[in-house]
Structure 1
């Protein structure tokens, strides 16, 4: 680990202006991004007494090998640039409130001929009505399932809808009366759109109108002695009331607000938010994060708002009119201006003092406290287990460095065809899915598993060597030069540090070489031949500081290069469990890519050689028929229904595919592992 004194910049080189700074490790990877009103004061605090820093901050400054900064014109620009860099570089030591999911919304596609009700995430689409956010998604699906009894609007995908149209038979939802089946003409497009409009009206807060109307309808059925119809209406009323009561009004019906609360201790903080739309709680989200710097609550609130609302991008109308927080954020004026710019309308950020909103804030606060307490009780076991596994592996393999990053490689194929490989990454004992990679292997490299393994390892570490950030030799302090936001130095020493870089030049996202960060340990799926191939690839590249082991499936033996005997880990070893999980994850990732590639090649081979049939028309055919099997069974008249297919081409397709009936394929087997790839 680096000594912070080795890269500490001279105090006179650091400007006293507002700006954003980045700590980089020895491989050039950004490990922390921060902002400051006074760069000199903030950066000096990291180096004055490293032993007095918080544990995670101390780990960060010892992991880093250099620091660089960018001066900006205002604190608002610093706020914007800090978020841009956090989003771009995903630094491992930053407080990250974001989770891996976007908001789930209930959407009704009113712009379609036959509107569809569905749960949607991501960017909003034109002519679609949205309700939410809801969290978890299970709650919104239960709501939709209940409402379909009264408002049987289409919920199926386009492919299912088109298949039902062609066959003249509705799907299961149509048979159980939870869809009005517009696909087979049971309802006209106009009536179905009106039904979708009623669904939208109910979700918009007009529940009482529909319940009152159904009660009158039930009374009329009773008066006519039609008790069966009255019973059905009674059940419809009960269904609407269940949905209505599930979304109880907690605030006035014109209230759209997000209510945040925080609970924290010296090392961690838990955040919770209730999403209130139309006076009703539509969803709830929560996060637990580790503190890096000695942040107070206003700083945490600023980071929370910055990351929760910044993740959806500018011009986002998902930001409500009111944002209620436990304390006002640091740089409150700049945060407020930034949020208003994102929403394109007025946003109020304030602390509720009394009334219903303050009471609801107390409920959110209690949820945050419970979340932190539960996290600590679970994390104690998880952290202990991961640490024990990594330490045990390091000792068993006699490695000089802690296993901060492990990469595992696996090969998958069927009889030497469609050969692919996978790379999965584990950091601090946890999967880093954003850095998983997959490889296609062709030519001589695909002749056997050892050649394939050599090819993959060579390509991965060749890219690592090509993508390494060169050391800056012009800065006498040992710290990298001031960056321009693109990862390339623009100067060195005091002159460069004093240069103010325009914000427009610093927010340009760059393509980052994910291979530029090497692992401490490479794990290959296999025994001595695979280990030898991987070691030979590293040796040919001149790399001698990355260790290689292989995990053989038969007896779960750990093989090291040049050894005649494996390392045998105890069956109950946490280190062995960790290696098995990594190997199984690499195997799963490789097989999923192999299936995808094999399916694509089978489709392409079935349509190869047909004159006049290009990629776009192949895609149109498969979209229309759904599979090659159905395409082979289609007549010339069926083919003519596909846009762009004329009589001559339809006849050519029919003749080209008439070479025989589709047979059931034997199960595909991975000859390396003996596993059946298709269930």
Structure 2
């Protein structure tokens, strides 16, 4: 497209008059701006390409450090059961060193009561890889768990003895400042020495931070929903049906708290019960 054609298209798109200098200083300035733009764009693509090489190179180097022929797909797990309530687990997927967010998964822990990381790990590993086998999903080259020998052994026991899968498992141990400190591999939990300033160590930190963030976010969502349910259920006259109706109508506990008595009338809730609901919720945490 020539300059005139480009100007016409730009003018139509922007809805304003566009002028293209044909000679003199203004033409030189436009030419300089175009050249600067090309240089900046080339540099941006060069940096992106370099980062891509470093990221995929870090995954490949990590695989070599672990004695793996190839390391493309990593699946990492973390459990969250803050204050012993609403235990959940989360899985993130990294492919060639980059997060594949569409493949992340969340798990509500079903069979474990209270904070038991080992049993939680067993349940979630079982559920994940039973589905992988059943649906013929891609199997990871490496499984990463948050923790040491106990978590690693729990995962390996389910994989090998129940499912017949021999996928390498490693654990990430944190220091007393909750930072990634050490990589342990296999049932014997052998430490793998990685330089803290290496790209491989940085990749592990990213994986551990990402799965922890994902698990914590999910746990907070579930705990918030549980607190809402508990608070509403404690009000005389509010059963399961009315609780669902309230949440569907108002959208959240916060919106219910901000409502007036008149706002409850379309739900066939009388003024007396509406007042009881508002009084019961007035001390609830505003973040919910």
Counterparts in 2 of 1:368 and 1:467: CA distance versus 1, 3 Å: farther
Q: Which residue of 2 aligns with 1:603?
A: 228
Q: Which residue of 2 aligns with 1:566?
A: 191
Select 1:543's aligned residue among 156, 165, 187: 165
Q: Which residue of 2 aligns with 1:438?
A: 106
Unpaired runs of 5+ residues, structure 1, are: 1-249, 257-275, 282-361, 469-515, 666-677
Select 2:8's aligned residue among 251, 259, 263: 251
Q: Flag the structure with higher helix content.
A: 2
Name the SS of the counterpart of 2:188 in structure 1: coil
Counterparts in 2 of 1:367 and 1:251: CA distance versus 1, 3 Å: farther
Q: For residues 87 and 283 of structure 2, what CA distance do their matches in structure 1 show?
A: 25
Q: 8 Å contact 2:76–2:211 — kept in the other structure?
A: yes
Q: Which residue of 2 aligns with 1:644?
A: 266
Superposition TM-score, scaled by structure 1 size: 0.35
Name the SS of the counterpart of 2:192 in structure 1: coil
Q: 8 Å contact 1:445–1:455 — kept in the other structure?
A: no
Q: Which residue of 2 aligns with 1:462?
A: 130
Q: 8 Å contact 1:639–1:645 — kept in the other structure?
A: no
Following TM superposition, by how much is the alpha carbon of 1:370 offset from its aligned partner in structure 2, in angstroms? 4.3
Name the SS of the counterpart of 1:566 in structure 2: strand
Q: Which residue of 2 aligns with 1:410?
A: 78
1:10-42 per-residue CA deviation (whole Å, 9 max, x = no partner) reads: xxxxxxxxxxxxxxxxxxxxxxxxxxxxxxxxx
Following TM superposition, by how much is the alpha carbon of 1:556 offset from its aligned partner in structure 2, in angstroms? 1.3
Q: Which residue of 2 aligns with 1:391?
A: 60
Following TM superposition, by how much is the alpha carbon of 1:434 offset from its aligned partner in structure 2, in angstroms? 1.3
1:423-462 per-residue CA deviation (whole Å, 9 max, x = no partner) reads: 1111111111111111111233765111111111111111
Q: For residues 252 and 584 of structure 1, what CA distance do their matches in structure 2 show?
A: 46
Following TM superposition, by how much is the alpha carbon of 1:664 offset from its aligned partner in structure 2, in angstroms? 6.0
Select 1:626's aligned residue among 254, 264, 283: 254
Following TM superposition, by how much is the alpha carbon of 1:535 offset from its aligned partner in structure 2, in angstroms? 0.9
Q: Which residue of 2 aligns with 1:278?
A: 15
Select 1:429's aligned residue among 65, 74, 97: 97
Counterparts in 2 of 1:280 and 1:460: CA distance versus 1, 3 Å: farther
Q: For residues 245 and 120 of structure 2, what CA distance do their matches in structure 1 show?
A: 33
Q: For residues 152 and 107 of structure 2, what CA distance do their matches in structure 1 show?
A: 18
1:447-497 per-residue CA deviation (whole Å, 9 max, x = no partner) reads: 5111111111111111110111xxxxxxxxxxxxxxxxxxxxxxxxxxxxx
By relative contact order (CA 8 Å, sep 6+), the higher-ranking structure is 2
Counterparts in 2 of 1:527 and 1:656: CA distance versus 1, 3 Å: same
Q: Which residue of 2 aligns with 1:379?
A: 48
Superposition TM-score, scaled by structure 2 size: 0.77
Counterparts in 2 of 1:252 and 1:424: CA distance versus 1, 3 Å: closer
Q: For residues 280 and 590 of structure 1, what CA distance do their matches in structure 2 show?
A: 52
User: How many residues end up aligned between the 2 structures?
Assistant: 261
Select 1:518's aligned residue among 125, 139, 143: 139
Name the SS of the counterpart of 1:519 in structure 2: coil
Name the SS of the counterpart of 1:640 in structure 2: helix
Name the SS of the counterpart of 1:662 in structure 2: coil
Unpaired runs of 5+ residues, structure 2, are: 1-6, 19-30
Following TM superposition, by how much is the alpha carbon of 1:376 offset from its aligned partner in structure 2, in angstroms? 4.1
Whether 1:449 and 2:74 are equivalent positions in the alignment is no
Name the SS of the counterpart of 2:191 in structure 1: coil
Name the SS of the counterpart of 1:570 in structure 2: coil
Q: Which residue of 1 aligns with 2:4?
A: none
Counting only pairs closer than 5 Å after superposition, residues 205-224 of structure 1 correspond to structure 2 as none
Name the SS of the counterpart of 1:522 in structure 2: strand
Q: For residues 382 and 647 of structure 1, what CA distance do their matches in structure 2 show?
A: 59
Whether 1:532 and 2:153 are equivalent positions in the alignment is yes
Q: 8 Å contact 1:413–1:420 — kept in the other structure?
A: yes
Q: For residues 407 and 531 of structure 1, what CA distance do their matches in structure 2 show?
A: 14
Following TM superposition, by how much is the alpha carbon of 1:541 offset from its aligned partner in structure 2, in angstroms? 0.5
